[in-house]
């Protein structure tokens, strides 16, 4: 487990989630390269969707989808939005031949 002082960061890591260099089949997040403070990219598994987070506000496809009470609340709400609103619109992958 992590020794990170941020309890929410430890929770994020305990789910197997990680940063930009983690394998793509997992949730990942990283600081945007724009250099702006508190701006993040949140990438869904296999990069099927990406969110941008500016402090407590999350955007999907350039549209503001939510503002939360804290930065971590916004991050968790982005994951919930993905499963509630985005997943139903995705095309299922083809069936495996095996």
Q: Of the ranges 27-36, 48-57, 66-75, which one carries the lowest mean pLDDT score? A: 27-36
CA distance linking residue 87 with residue 20, whole number of Å = 22
For the chain, how many structural domains are there in total? 1
- Cβ atoms 42, 21 nearer than 8 A: no
pTM as predicted: 0.85
* Residue 1, in any domain of the structure: no
Cα 91 to Cα 57: distance, rounded to the nearest angstrom: 27
Residue 33, sorted as left (phi over 0), alpha (psi -120 to 50) or beta, turns out to be: alpha
Domain-embedded: residue 96: no
> Residue 2 has which token pair?
């992590």
Q: Is the pLDDT of residue 1 over 60?
A: no
pLDDT of amino acid 37: 78
Domain that includes residue 30, residue range:
7-89
d(CA 69, CA 75): 11
The pair of three-digit structure tokens given for residue 94, joined into one six-digit string: 């083809």
C-alpha 47: how far from chain center: 10
């Amino acid at each position: 487990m992590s020794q990170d002082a941020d309890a929410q960061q430890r929770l994020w890591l305990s789910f197997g989630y990680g940063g930009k260099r983690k394998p793509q089949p997992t949730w990942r997040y990283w600081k945007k390269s724009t250099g702006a403070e508190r701006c993040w990219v949140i990438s869904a598994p296999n990069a099927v969707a990406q969110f941008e987070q500016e402090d407590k506000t999350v955007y999907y496809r350039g549209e503001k989808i939510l503002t939360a009470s804290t930065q971590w609340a916004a991050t968790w709400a982005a994951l919930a939005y993905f499963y509630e609103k985005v997943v139903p619109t995705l095309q299922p992958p083809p069936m495996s031949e095996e």
